[in-house]
Amino acid sequence: MAIKMAVPNKGRLNERAVELLLKSGIDLGEDWGRKLYVTAKDQNIEIMFIRAQDIPAFIATGAIDIGITGEDLAAESGYKIKKLMDLEFGACRLSVAAPESSGIKNIDDIPNGAKVATSFPNLTKKFFKSKGKEISVIEISGAAEIMPYLGISDLIVDLVASGSTLKMNRLAEISKIMDSQAAIYSSDAALKKNGAEIDDVVASIKSVMTAEDRKYLMADVPKSKLEQVEKLLPGIGGPTVLNIAGNDKMVAVHVVVRSRDVYKAVNDLKRLGAKGILTLSIERLVE
């Protein structure tokens, strides 16, 4: 039976989540953008496009086996779901912010009874309770930044990435509640039933993320410098060294290097007399 996977249907997490699936070789077909779900036949996976905030509930109830959503949404849902892997995108933090003009600089300055507008009522209540503050939560579904301006609340709890939206609305961030990024989630029940299939999806996505951070480097290097080159480019278990037909002075070296090391590697190789240096993108890398 196919496993069911949920992907955010729109919003900030949609584009990269879909990109990771496509790069993993999960075939979404031609017109996936217009469908609520597609079946990747060759991989035996049904992909459902669901609102990011609904995905934790779908996982917890067993309606789907695995899903991509934000850590903030998983925490706010309160459902007992299992994080399998961080996806290193959608980075933001859930923070308390107050109008710059309020004079509130930290949590201690907040008077009891303050009104806090947020679309994260559960995390907000929990946070203020842990600080021993009695506040009242005004639950809203978006545009928290405008609430103090309208006199609806004294403070807000909202997601912040760069902080520029807060600044634009003359709000100051006074305390962080949690960091968040996109992640892959599942449940104990799904893992028990479809653990191998779920592992395959996670491993595929991981291989894409690893590959994105690496380059395949090839160069012809003088045999006499091979030892120095090997020290320079340890690769995954050492570089591959190949003979070049008709040339007994040079060998071809193939190695996987971190993208950030390519600049130095190419220059070092040049200095050692390497020729025909080239780098290629890697689609997937299973270490």
Tell me how far, at minimum, the Cβ of 120 lies from ligand AMP, in Å.
9
Tell me how far, at minimum, the Cβ of 159 lies from ligand AMP, in Å.
4
Which residues of the shown chain bind ligand AMP in the complex (CB under 6 A)? 8, 11-13, 52, 70, 72-73, 90, 92, 159, 161, 180
Whose Cβ is closer to ligand AMP: residue 12's or residue 35's? 12
Check if the beta carbon of residue 119 is closer than 8 Å to that of residue 199.
Answer: no
Whose Cβ is closer to ligand AMP: residue 11's or residue 238's? 11
Tell me how far, at minimum, the Cβ of 250 lies from ligand AMP, in Å.
49
Tell me how far, at minimum, the Cβ of 132 lies from ligand AMP, in Å.
27
Whose Cβ is closer to ligand AMP: residue 13's or residue 233's? 13
Tell me how far, at minimum, the Cβ of 183 lies from ligand AMP, in Å.
9
List of residues 6+ apart from 258 with CB closer than 8 A: 213, 214, 215
Whose Cβ is closer to ligand AMP: residue 161's or residue 244's? 161
Whose Cβ is closer to ligand AMP: residue 59's or residue 92's? 92
